[in-house]
């Protein structure tokens, strides 16, 4: 017998809001809630627009009560903001907090600080502040969050590109299901860096306008930054602490189609299997699903691959489908965590978010993404997709408690 896994706390910081409530307000406002796309200094001619959070590192440190003079990566700061909000929502403290595990994910680590270090160091090896590169590893942000929150149980880091934080939530759920821990903070964080933007520019998959997921004229993605964390608890833990669950993690799956270093298979085999296996674990059929929060990056490959998989599994009666990346940008290692939080909010508030900017149907697909905010039906089961480089495909299923 396995334990049930409940979501009892949510934390979020995105380009459209510095908290869960602010982000939800922007989502409800649809177009008026869109982030300002701003250029990002890179080596690319005509620097592409990105979805930035409107707080400097110094402002983030002040908000967190951390000395602004300390050299801390932006990824770690964003992660701490969201993880702290998730914990505060549960009112966990004392031994219950100390025994809480942390499964955190990211893809760029402290690259932003390393980028500040190397120009001066390469010019003169006797220069450069070594403390700027101490936080380079992906694990640095995880350790900072654990230290700041006083977590003393299992602490680990996952990095599987854009499926990273979905896999963190999956791993945390597995630990609880099998009785290894009672409660876990799981999710991920990532900050914008020149390295990231240059890399995606080299792949020629950045849109110089707002991204258009599932649009025939889609031209690529907009990169973003942010963090999203969930507090996961066993039923015994949640009930003993009188914490009312927001929803339940009922299913999850990870597959790897290994088709290409950066692209998913054209047939969407990995995406299809991830969704199918996650629904099987949840004991659901495709007809039970009320909303699919798609990975939906806006690239030619992803939207075709994911769209074909959705058509194959859910036809002929598709549930509402949308991508929220025109709001937040593609936040890479944080995407699965952010979109998991949005999926939980979808259930709690009976919302289906709009797939903004989509105008031209993709002829290969037999479904139409939702284009306006929907709040006219109960949302019981939500599928959240997060697909990473190498065909690392992850699906989470959240259900009403």
What residues act catalytically? 162, 295, 330
| Residue spans of alpha helices (H) in 91-224 | 94-98, 111-123, 138-149, 164-177, 194-202
Helix or strand (DSSP H, E) at 12: strand 5-13
Q: For residues 172 and 232, is the Cβ–Cβ distance under 8 A?
A: yes
Residues paired with residue 98 on neighbouring β-strands, in sequence order: none
* Closest residue by Cα to residue 163 from 253, 243, 250, 224: 253
Give the position of tokens 């900072």. 144
Q: For residues 387 and 163, is the Cβ–Cβ distance under 8 A?
A: yes
Q: For residues 292 and 255, is the Cβ–Cβ distance under 8 A?
A: no
What is the DSSP track for 54-65? S--HHHHHHHHT
Crossing angle between the packed helical segments 74-90 and 57-64, to the nearest 10 degrees: 30
Q: For residues 51 and 329, is the Cβ–Cβ distance under 8 A?
A: yes
**Residue 60: is the preceding peptide bond cis (ω within 30°)?**
no
Residues paired with residue 17 on neighbouring β-strands, in sequence order: 14
């Amino acid at each position: 017998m396995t334990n049930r896994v409940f979501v009892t706390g949510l934390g979020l910081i995105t380009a459209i809001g510095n908290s869960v409530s602010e982000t939800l307000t922007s989502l409800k406002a649809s177009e008026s809630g869109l982030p300002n796309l701003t250029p990002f200094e890179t080596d690319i001619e005509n620097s592409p627009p990105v979805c930035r959070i409107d707080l400097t590192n110094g402002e983030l440190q002040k908000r967190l009560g951390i000395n602004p003079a300390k050299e801390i990566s932006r990824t770690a700061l964003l992660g701490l903001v969201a993880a702290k909000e998730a914990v505060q929502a549960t009112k966990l403290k004392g031994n219950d907090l100390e025994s809480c595990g942390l499964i955190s994910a990211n893809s760029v680590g402290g690259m932003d600080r390393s980028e500040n270090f190397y120009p001066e160091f390469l010019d003169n090896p006797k220069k450069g502040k070594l403390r700027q590169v101490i936080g380079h590893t992906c694990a640095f942000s995880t350790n900072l969050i654990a230290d700041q929150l006083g977590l003393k149980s299992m602490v680990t880091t996952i990095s599987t590109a854009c499926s990273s934080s979905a896999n963190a939530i999956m791993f945390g759920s597995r630990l609880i299901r099998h009785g290894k821990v009672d409660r876990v903070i799981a999710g991920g964080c990532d900050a914008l860096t020149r390295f990231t933007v240059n890399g995606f520019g080299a792949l020629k998959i950045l849109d110089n306008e707002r991204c258009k997921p599932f649009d025939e004229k889609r031209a690529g993605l907009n990169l973003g930054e942010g963090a999203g964390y969930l507090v996961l608890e066993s039923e015994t833990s949640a009930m003993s602490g009188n914490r009312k669950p927001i929803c339940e993690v009922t299913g999850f799956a990870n597959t790897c189609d290994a088709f290409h270093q950066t692209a998913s298979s054209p047939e969407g085999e990995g995406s299809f299997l991830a969704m199918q296996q996650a629904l099987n674990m949840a004991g659901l059929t495709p007809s039970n699903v009320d909303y699919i929060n798609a990975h939906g990056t806006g690239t030619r490959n992803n939207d075709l691959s994911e769209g074909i998989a959705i058509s194959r599994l859910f036809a002929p009666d598709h549930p509402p489908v949308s991508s929220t990346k025109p709001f937040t940008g593609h936040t890479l290692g944080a995407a699965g965590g952010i979109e998991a939080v949005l999926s939980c909010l979808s259930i709690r508030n009976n919302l289906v978010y709009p797939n903004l900017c989509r105008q031209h149907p993709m002829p290969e697909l037999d479904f139409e993404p939702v284009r306006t905010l929907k709040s006219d039906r109960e949302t019981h089961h939500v599928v959240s997709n997060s697909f990473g480089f190498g065909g690392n495909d992850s699906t989470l299923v959240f259900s009403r408690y």
